[in-house]
Amino acid sequence: MIPRQTVNMTDVAQRCGVSIASVSRALRGEPGVSPATRDRIMSAARELAYVVSPEASRLSGGSTGRVGVVVPRIDAWFYATVLAGVAGEFDAVGVDLVLCTLPDSSARHRFFEALPLRRKVDAVIIVSVPLSARERTRLDQLGVPTVQVGGHHPAGGRPWIGIDDELAASQAVGHLLRIGHRDIAMIQAVDQEGTAWAADEARIRGFHDQMAAAGVAEPTVVRVPWGIDGGAQGMETLLSRPRLPSAVFCHSDEIALGALRTLRKSGVAVPQQISVIGVDDHPSADLSELTTVAQPVREQGRLAAVQVLGALGDDGASMPVRTTLPTRLVIRNSTAPPH
C-alpha cells in the first residue's frame, strides 16, 4: 500500500527557498509576488503535486471550495438532471458539490433546524423546495449566498431560476382546448404528506384559469402521490367514475406515463378515447409518444451553478434576481381532437 501523501505548503516553500506566505499568495494568484518567484513556486507545486489543505485554508479565512446542493430526492429524472447541470459547471472550476436530500418531512425539518450545512459550504443551491418563512430565515442564517431553482419566488431580491409553471400549464391546456376538448381533468402530484410543491400550485392555477376562460367551471382534479405509480393510480380513480373525461392534463410526464400504463392495461385507446398530456419532456415521453410541454432542465442547473460561482468570484458579481427559462409545446401522438 502506498504511503499517504502529505505535501504541505512548507515543503513547497523550502523547495523554492521562499516563505509560505509567498507560496500562499502565488498559488491563489494574489498580487505581491514577482513573476520570477511566482513561476518557481508554481512549478514546484506542480512537481510535488501539492494541493492546499481545504481545512487549513478555510480555518484561516479562506473559502471551503464547496457548495451545497439541496434536492428533495435524487432518484427522479428532474432532480438528477438539474444536478448533472450543476455538477458539470462545478467540475470545470474545481468546486466540490456537497449533496443534501430531503426525502421526507422529518428529513426536511431536521435540515432546516440543524442546518447541517453550517460552516461547511461557501454557497447553497436549493432545488424545487418551496420555502416557508421560517425555512427562508434559517437558510439565510447560513450566511452564504443562496440561489433557488424552481419553487416559489423568494422575497428580498434573492436569485431564482426556473420556468413559468403557470404558463407551462396554459400551453398544455391551451393545446387541448384548441383541438376541441372541453371535458378536461387534471392529475395533480402531491408529496407523502399531501402537500403540493410550488410548481404544482402554479400549474393547477394555470389549469383553472384556462378552463375558466374557456367557460368550464370546476373541472375535475385528482390528487395522487408523486411518480409513475401515482399517475397510474390517478387514472384508475378517473376510470372508476361514471364518465371518462375526453382529455387529461398531468402535472408531469412521470404522472402521465403512469396514466398511460393504466389506460393500456384497461384497453382504453390513446388518443382515440382519451388524450393525455404532461410537462417536462422526460426521456421516456418520446418512447411513449406522449405530448408534453418541454422545459430546459439541465440548463436550470447549469445556470444556477454559473450564478453561484459568479457570486463567489473575486468580483462578487451580483446575481440576476430572476431568470425565467422558456417552455414549449411538443406534440406527439397522445393527443388528438375528441371523437
What does residue 301 show for φ and ψ, rounded to 5 degrees?
-65, -40
The region of 24-32, 94-102, 133-141, 266-274 touching DNA under the rule CB under 7 A is 24-32
Closer Cβ to DNA, 22 or 252, answer by number: 22
Helices 20-27, 35-47: axis angle to 10 degrees equals: 90
Pairing outcome for strands 146-149 and 275-280: unpaired
52 scored as a contact of DNA (CB under 7 A): yes
Q: Which does 31 bind (CB under 5 to 8 A by kind): DNA, a copy of itself, none?
A: DNA
Identify whether the C-beta of residue 292 lies closer than 8 Å to the C-beta of residue 334: no
45 CB-near residues (< 8 Å, 6+ apart)? 12, 23, 27
What are 7's three cell numbers?
505535501
Helices marked H in the chain — which ranges?
A: 9-16, 20-27, 35-47, 54-59, 77-93, 105-114, 133-140, 165-178, 198-213, 228-239, 253-266, 283-287, 297-312
Nearest alpha carbon to residue 175 among 338, 335, 339: 335
Give the nearest distance from C-beta 123 to DNA in angstroms.
Answer: 17
Closer Cβ to DNA, 17 or 215, answer by number: 17
8 scored as a contact of DNA (CB under 7 A): yes
Residues that bind a copy of itself (CB under 8 A): 1-5, 51, 53-56, 58-59, 64, 66, 73-77, 80-81, 83-84, 87-88, 91, 94, 96-101, 103, 107, 114-116, 118-120, 137, 140-143, 228, 257-258, 260-261, 283-284, 286-288, 298
25 scored as a contact of DNA (CB under 7 A): yes
Closer Cβ to a copy of itself, 26 or 228, answer by number: 228
**Number of alpha helices (DSSP H) and beta strands (DSSP E) in the chain:** 13, 12
Residues 61 to 120: which contact DNA by CB under 7 A?
Answer: 61-62
Contacts with DNA, residue ranges (CB under 7 A): 6, 8-10, 17-22, 24-25, 27-28, 30-34, 36-38, 50, 52-53, 55-57, 59-62
